[in-house]
Amino acid sequence: MSVLETYQLSVNTFDSKEVASKKAAARIAELIQDRDSKGENTILGLATGSSPLGVYAELIRLHKEEGLSFQNVITFNLDEYLPMDANSAHSYVYFMQENLFKHIDIKPENIHIPDGTLSQEQVDSFCQEYEQKIAAVGGIDIQLLGIGRTGHIGFNEPPSSLDSLTRQVILHEITRIDAAPGFGGIEHVPSSAITMGVGTIMKAKEVIMLAWGESKAAIVKEMIQGEISEQVPATFLQYHANTQVYLDKTAASAL
Ligand code: GLP
């Protein structure tokens, strides 16, 4: 069995999530402009949840005020609830439209989000095609991530293996409790989702992990300093050679 190399995650702690989000957006903009200057596309892996909202707000500002173009950007979102109507305000399709896509000049055909409307029979082939589509454009350049209290990345709940790929998963009770306020009660939170796998995320050339607030402090410590384990899927990032962790002071308080 080969022994995988581990890395000390690169931690960047900022006074506030606003400052941190601007830094993360600046890194994304820098890559897009560099690729644009070479006539190349930029492939972004995108996340939902509250953590990336400030990054999206800053990318929108850079587009509107500083002319950052997304014409050559191709995106793949991490996950979507299953079942989920794309028109529902709870869908990640809706979230991405409202919080980013409708405000920028990305081409609709360059947007990819797992499909929450699939029947059970369609899920496996959809997931395989999602992997193939990522590979066909040369893989993800920058993957944005948040972290759930279970240590999930995307919806890779514990236990998720290092080589897991895009697939259907059952959501953890804690994840459903955390999502419940937005759905008006846990009984309305879907029990399942489609998510990129840990292995899919690990193939990204660069990962930017965002975590804000006191409630993330314990799991952030575990991700960075804990033993690598399927029980805390975010610890697998310790095997990733180029992960930047962006924290505000409170999320970094247990380190
Ligand atoms: C959801 C998403 C994850 C996200 C997590 C944390 O479970 N599927 O991708 O990272 O929530 O959410 P938040 O950023 O709101 O804390």
Is the confidence at residue 121, as pLDDT, over 60?
yes
Element (H, E) at 42: strand 42-46
Q: Which atom of ligand 1 is nearest to 154's Cα?
A: 9
Is 157 among the catalytic positions?
yes
Mean pLDDT of 103-107: 98
Q: What percent of the chain has pLDDT over 70?
A: 99
DSSP string, 113-135: ---TT--HHHHHHHHHHHHHHHH
Pocket test for ligand 1, best of 150, 152, 176 (most atoms within 8 A of CB): 152
Active-site entry in 157, 173, 187, 227: 157
Specify whether the CB–CB gap between 220 and 245 falls below 8 A. Answer: yes
- For residue 190, say if its preceding peptide bond is cis, omega within 30 degrees of 0: no
pLDDT digits (tens, 9 = 90+) for 158-177: 999 999 999 999 999 999 99
Per-residue confidence (pLDDT) for residue 3, from 0 to 100: 80
Range with lowest mean pLDDT among 2-16, 54-68, 106-120, 239-253 = 2-16
Give residues with Cβ within 8 angstroms of 47, minimum separation 6. Answer: 77, 78, 144, 145, 146, 154, 210
- For 107-143, letters b (16+ CB in 10 Å) and e give eeebbbbbbbebeeeebeeebeebbeebeeeeebbbb
Is the confidence at residue 195, as pLDDT, over 70?
yes
Rounded-to-integer distance, Cα 141 and Cα 252, Å: 26
48 lines ligand 1 (CB under 6 A): yes
Element (H, E) at 244: strand 243-248
Is the confidence at residue 204, as pLDDT, over 90?
yes
Per-residue confidence (pLDDT) for residue 46, from 0 to 100: 99
155 lines ligand 1 (CB under 6 A): yes
154 lines ligand 1 (CB under 6 A): yes
146 lines ligand 1 (CB under 6 A): yes
Q: Which atom of ligand 1 is nearest to 215's Cα?
A: 16
pLDDT digits (tens, 9 = 90+) for 127-165: 999 999 999 999 999 999 999 989 999 999 999 999 999
At 82, list the tokens.
């299953």
pLDDT digits (tens, 9 = 90+) for 10-69: 999 999 999 999 999 999 999 999 999 999 999 999 999 999 999 999 999 999 999 999
Is the confidence at residue 2, as pLDDT, over 70?
no
The reply to whether the predicted model has a pTM over 0.95 is yes
